Amino acid sequence: MLSYVIEGNNRIEGIVKASGSKNAALPIIATAILNPEPVTFYNIPDIEDTRITLKILKLLGCKVTVNSGKITISSKQMNNKTIPKELMHKLRSTVVLAGAILGRFKEATFSFPGGCNIGKRPIDLHLKAFKSLGVEIEEKEDYIHCRAKKELIGTKIKLDFPSVGATENIILASVYCKGVTHILNAAKEPEIQDLAKCLNKMGAKVYGAGTSRITICGVKKLHKADYKIMTDRIEVGTLLCSAAITKGKIKIENANPQHLLNVLYELKNIGCDISITQNSITLKAPKKLKGTNIETRPYPGFPTDMQPIIGAVLCKANGKSIIKENIFENRFKYAQDLKKMGADIIFDNDKNQIEIIGENHLQGNTVSSADLRGGAALVLAGLSASGTTIVENAEYILRGYENLEQKLKTLGANIKLCEKH
């Protein structure tokens, strides 16, 4: 088991570049299945989640070459339409590969991804959408077999909830559909806009990404293309918060402020000085942070992935804060570990919210990541705590943050990734 060992009380100061977006990389890698012509992607982060996704593409028969952040994929010889169950359970977001396999081959077999530590995470909206596109679905021995009689037929799909994954899956499955597909109540996240831009560069016709109504006009074929994916906005938010929690100052050189407006608003609200250019964000933390109330919502609301991160920061704020989680049912595990470090936090499970009585002096302790963003929150708490903090199960954090240890070290942190026996 891997752990981060952190000597706290160091200010985070300096200039850093964030990596490519994990949540854009996964659906964009899936476009290589739709497109039989060679495709090349740049700025793909080298993290566990992208490694597993590329491993599945190889198992499906794709040719994949990786050269640091540059990845070339050819799916011409792809011959397998079944996503292996064990890998699907390891990485639930591979469910978007199903939409791409279905779009290209009119059939796909995969298993229920299974829940994870932040919630049940069903895929009912994905399956309901596939059925609307004329796909027959049969569940047998915990595999889901999808098959269209002849081809997928464009239609109007109104999502009950603006699900990011379901929106991505419908777009991928609809690229070659007969006619036109309209998605109503679509998710508006920037990662969906990145996916649409990538597909359109390959010759697809996806319109309205970033709004709640997306239109996909079916095309006959795609052509070869290369594409550089967007910066990871959640990593940017995490790095900004590492300076906020340690009274530091940070400039992130390749960040798009438009992707984080709500997060920047809240950071200003709690006293941080923020300045932006078209592709950079600079944050200077105040001596004393102020408390605030946060509610997570679908984009452009405050992102659920930043909820644990801002939760750690608000432990240091002067005054009370309330954080309400509206997207996932189980995303406060990290707060139990913050309490072990001295944070004064009250849980209200009925309302799915926590109340943080601020101005806590955080004391280093041994804590444990229960999920990706909760683990990152504990690292930030360790940076600002006095003494040594050991964050166990660091594997969770390595899934979504590329070279986090190196980045924080260059910014003045005393942090080490260790094999913990």
Given strand 63-67, what is the order of strands in its sheet? Answer: 63-67, 70-74, 39-42, 225-228
Return the number of the residue (122 or 179) whose C-beta is nearest ligand EPZ: 122
Site string for ligand EPZ, 398-417 (x = CB under 6 A): --x-----------------
| Residue 332 identity (one-letter amino acid) | F
Stretch that binds ligand EPZ, among 118-126, 135-143, 245-253, 357-365 (CB under 6 A): 118-126
Return the number of the residue (328 or 334) whose C-beta is nearest ligand EPZ: 328
Q: Which of 194, 266, 305, 392 binds ligand EPZ (CB under 6 A)?
A: 305
Q: Are strands 320-324 and 344-348 parallel, antiparallel or unpaired?
A: unpaired
Indicate whether 209 belongs to the interface with ligand EPZ (CB under 6 A): no
Indicate whether 364 belongs to the interface with ligand EPZ (CB under 6 A): no
* Residue 292 neighbours by CB under 8 Å, 6+ apart: 266, 269, 270, 314, 317, 321
Site string for ligand EPZ, 280-299 (x = CB under 6 A): --------------------
CB of 284 to ligand EPZ, least distance (A): 27
| Residue 27 identity (one-letter amino acid) | P
Q: Which of 215, 282, 292, 304 binds ligand EPZ (CB under 6 A)?
A: 304
Return the number of the residue (48 or 305) whose C-beta is nearest ligand EPZ: 305
Indicate whether 266 belongs to the interface with ligand EPZ (CB under 6 A): no
Query: What does the buried/exposed string (b/e) look like for 376-407 if buried means 16 or more CB atoms within 10 Å of the residue's CB?
Result: bbbbbbbbbbeeebbbbbbebbbbbbbebbeb
Stretch that binds ligand EPZ, among 12-20, 115-123, 257-265, 272-280 (CB under 6 A): 115-123
Stretch that binds ligand EPZ, among 158-166, 172-180, 268-276, 348-356 (CB under 6 A): 158-166
Return the number of the residue (22 or 81) whose C-beta is nearest ligand EPZ: 22
How far is residue 213 from each of residues 20, 30, 89, 169, 174, measured CA to CA in Å? 26, 22, 31, 15, 14
Q: What is the DSSP string of 377-396?
A: HHHHHHHHSBSEEEEE-THH
| Residue 127 identity (one-letter amino acid) | L
The secondary element (H helix, E strand) that includes residue 355 is strand 353-357
Indicate whether 26 belongs to the interface with ligand EPZ (CB under 6 A): yes
For residue 230, the 8-state DSSP code is P
Indicate whether 373 belongs to the interface with ligand EPZ (CB under 6 A): yes
How far is residue 391 from each of residues 47, 118, 247, measured CA to CA in Å? 18, 18, 21
Question: With contacts defined by CB under 6 A, how many residues of the chain interact with ligand EPZ?
Answer: 25
Indicate whether 125 belongs to the interface with ligand EPZ (CB under 6 A): yes
In whole angstroms, give the CA distance from residue 296 to residue 326: 6
Q: Give yes or no: 177 in active site.
A: no
Return the number of the residue (29 or 408) whose C-beta is nearest ligand EPZ: 29
Q: Which of 31, 35, 53, 163 binds ligand EPZ (CB under 6 A)?
A: 163
Indicate whether 246 belongs to the interface with ligand EPZ (CB under 6 A): no
Query: What does the buried/exposed string (b/e) look like for 193-229 if buried means 16 or more CB atoms within 10 Å of the residue's CB?
Result: bbbbbbbeebbbebebbbeeebbbebeeebeebebeb
Q: Which of 73, 133, 153, 166 binds ligand EPZ (CB under 6 A)?
A: 166
Indicate whether 158 belongs to the interface with ligand EPZ (CB under 6 A): no
CA dihedral 249, 255, 258, 261 (to 10 degrees): -30
Indicate whether 119 belongs to the interface with ligand EPZ (CB under 6 A): yes
Among residues 51, 56, 46, the alpha carbon closest in space to that of 86 is found at 56
CB of 2 to ligand EPZ, least distance (A): 18
CB of 168 to ligand EPZ, least distance (A): 7
Q: Are strands 366-368 and 388-392 parallel, antiparallel or unpaired?
A: parallel
Among residues 286, 231, 276, 232, the alpha carbon closest in space to that of 251 is found at 276
Return the number of the residue (165 or 248) whose C-beta is nearest ligand EPZ: 165
Q: Are 112 and 144 in contact (CB under 8 A)?
A: yes
Q: Which of 76, 161, 258, 279 binds ligand EPZ (CB under 6 A)?
A: 161
Stretch that binds ligand EPZ, among 114-122, 223-231, 246-254, 255-263 (CB under 6 A): 114-122
- 3-state SS, residue 297: coil
Active-site pick, 116, 146, 177, 418: 116
Q: Which residues bind ligand EPZ (CB under 6 A)?
A: 22-23, 26, 93, 119-126, 161, 163-166, 187, 304-305, 327-328, 372-373, 400
Active site residues: 116
